[in-house]
Amino acid sequence: MTPSPTALDALWQTIAQQLPPERRSRTLATRWAYGMDNSRLHHAADIVAFPQSHEEVEYLVRAARDHKVPVTARGRGTGTAGGSVPLFGGLVIALDHMNQILEFRPEDRLIRVQAGLLNGDLQAAIRPAGFFWPPDPTSQAICTIGGNAGCNAGGPHAVKYGTTRDHILGLKAVMGTGETLRTGTQTTKGVVGYDLTRLMIGSEGTLGIITELTLKLTPCPEGTRLLRAYYRDMHAAAAAVSRLMRLPVTPSAIEFIDGGALSLMRQHQENDPALQIPPTAGALLLIELDGAEVGLDAELQSAQAAAEGDDSNFAPLDMRAARHEAEIRALWAARKALSPTLRHVAPKKINEDVVVPVSRMPALIARIDEIAHRHRIAIVNFGHAGNGNIHVNLLVNPDQPDELAAAESALSEVFETVLALDGTLSGEHGIGAVKRDYVRAELDPIALSIMHGIKSVFDPDGIMNPNKKIPD
């Protein structure tokens, strides 16, 4: 799929007819910068284009198809699976300039935006009107709405509000044929035709490039409460999660941090008053509730009772409730500081986001601990306990051949364990290029065959983000 120099020169000349010089580039610095994301992969682009409209994206894809040049769509490159890395060079279509709000209708609880709008900028624009958009990945401040759609991003609040696909009413995209696809409705009900909106969400740019999205908005809750509970181990914490998920009111977030992560937090955040980690703690839960102020304190009491449980052997070692905004911010800041801490300890760590049924989280964590010990690798786990979404972090240096080999073996065993526990290989980070070779272990040949058939309809020449998402 690597394009020839002749094809690239011809494509460059075609693009020059449509885009001004400041919105197209073949300079090495730009090509290099747009050849990476937050994974460990890096392949320089050959051409980078910065469209400002759907029509310009359509023009670029048609030109790339005419010249048989692969196309990679890109937001801000916050993904960790290599989804926006141009493995074969070619044309990178960067949506940085497509960051406008096209229509905002609070009365219908919807907003229509370009795909390059930042999640954080969207939240700032709609909050004064009393709304928020629930998908809130860690990179919320700098990731794009199109990128959220591309990998069906989630975040801490997915346990109550769902993932990105639950908050998109419709979209506009350019398929690999260069044709425009419009899907969905501006209503919350609609069953005309097949659900192509959900097909595009999570497709990671392999079917087409999403350019515009119509989003369903959610009213901001009146109040929020947060519990911090430390447990002796993941078994006790998981038992608490099961009790919490049986409550009549679903918590808005249930985050967990395992013993290995707590050890690192003791070392690097020991002066943080929000933490106060007991020396025997092997797991931490952050339990958030939101909603109308009337009744919220009663719901907090119910959550405290569920977190406590009836068995003293599984009771929390320490539990604290935060009712005021400053306290809540401090506790969330401690949780969100964990990823930067891990980057400090292991700048090239391997980060996966597997999912298992909540009841099987302790079995997975126990198995991961055994794998880590046997391969002599430090592995720490944290994530979204309410839906069993675990971020598995292998603290290795991939530049060291021995460490990389051990990490690859360990990761294969982790994935095997996840599938044996009826889990899935990715909850919100996507497959990209990093996990593509493992997909056959989860999907059967019939499902893969159907997916290849869909791909051939949307992208008959195979130019859209090749060698991503599904194996050959």
Query: Is residue 14 domain-resident?
Result: yes
User: Which tens digits make up the pLDDT trace of 248-299?
Assistant: 999 999 999 998 888 888 776 655 666 688 989 999 999 999 999 999 999 9
> Stretch 213-235: mean pLDDT, rounded?
95
Q: How confident is the model at residue 404 (pLDDT cuts 50, 70, 90)?
A: confident
> Stretch 145-168: mean pLDDT, rounded?
96
Domain boundary among 339, 358, 386: 339
> Stretch 149-173: mean pLDDT, rounded?
96
Closest CA to 383 of 217, 243, 246, 260: 260
Question: Do 359 and 322 have their domain in common?
Answer: no
> What's the confidence (pLDDT) of residue 202?
97
Q: What is the value of pTM for the model shown? A: 0.93
Domain boundary among 323, 339, 355: 339
> What's the confidence (pLDDT) of residue 265?
80
**Average pLDDT in the chain:** 93
The CATH number linked to 276 is: 3.30.70.2190
The CATH number linked to 170 is: 3.30.465.10
> What's the confidence (pLDDT) of residue 272?
62
The CATH number linked to 365 is: 3.30.70.2740
Question: Do 244 and 326 have their domain in common?
Answer: yes
Q: How confident is the model at residue 52 (pLDDT cuts 50, 70, 90)?
A: very high
> What's the confidence (pLDDT) of residue 117?
98
Query: Is residue 113 domain-resident?
Result: yes
- Given a cut of 90, whether residue 44 has pLDDT beyond it is yes
> What's the confidence (pLDDT) of residue 270?
56
Question: Do 262 and 314 have their domain in common?
Answer: yes
Question: Do 238 and 157 have their domain in common?
Answer: no
The CATH number linked to 92 is: 3.30.43.10
- Given a cut of 70, whether residue 421 has pLDDT beyond it is yes
**CA 360/CA 159 separation, integer angstroms:** 17
Closest CA to 160 of 354, 337, 291: 291
Question: What is the share, in percent, of the chain residues with pLDDT greater than 90?
Answer: 81
Of 175-184, 289-298, 398-407, 432-441, where does mean pLDDT reach its minimum? 398-407
Q: How confident is the model at residue 19 (pLDDT cuts 50, 70, 90)?
A: very high
> What's the confidence (pLDDT) of residue 331?
78
> What's the confidence (pLDDT) of residue 135?
96
Based on its alpha-carbon atoms, the radius of gyration of the chain, rounded to whole angstroms, reads 23
- Given a cut of 90, whether residue 48 has pLDDT beyond it is yes
Question: What is the share, in percent, of the chain residues with pLDDT greater than 70?
Answer: 98
Question: Do 258 and 291 have their domain in common?
Answer: yes
> What's the confidence (pLDDT) of residue 271?
56
User: Which tens digits make up the pLDDT trace of 291-333?
Assistant: 999 999 999 999 999 999 998 888 999 999 987 788 888 778 7
Tell me which of 60 and 332 has the higher pLDDT: 60
Consecutive H or E run containing 104:
strand 101-105
> What's the confidence (pLDDT) of residue 325?
82
Query: Is residue 382 domain-resident?
Result: yes
Q: How many CB atoms lie within 10 A of CB 464?
A: 28
Domain boundary among 316, 339, 362: 339
Query: Is residue 470 domain-resident?
Result: no
Question: Do 79 and 162 have their domain in common?
Answer: no
Domain total of the chain = 4
Query: Is residue 228 domain-resident?
Result: yes
Query: Is residue 461 domain-resident?
Result: no
DSSP per position, 337-380: THHHHHHHH-TT-EEEEEE--GGGHHHHHHHHHHHHHHHT--EE
Strand order in the sheet with 71-74: 24-25, 47-49, 91-94, 71-74
Query: Is residue 450 domain-resident?
Result: no
Question: Do 75 and 114 have their domain in common?
Answer: no
User: Which tens digits make up the pLDDT trace of 93-102?
Assistant: 999 999 999 9
> What's the confidence (pLDDT) of residue 370?
95
Closest CA to 393 of 377, 413, 375: 377
Question: Do 166 and 248 have their domain in common?
Answer: no
Question: Do 82 and 122 have their domain in common?
Answer: no
Q: Are 51 and 97 in contact (CB under 8 A)?
A: yes
Strand order in the sheet with 101-105: 101-105, 110-114, 208-216, 168-175, 180-184
Question: Do 231 and 158 have their domain in common?
Answer: no
> What's the confidence (pLDDT) of residue 222?
95
> Stretch 418-443: mean pLDDT, rounded?
94
Question: What's the domain range around 419?
Answer: 346-441
Question: Do 81 and 134 have their domain in common?
Answer: no
Query: Is residue 452 domain-resident?
Result: no
Question: Do 107 and 215 have their domain in common?
Answer: yes
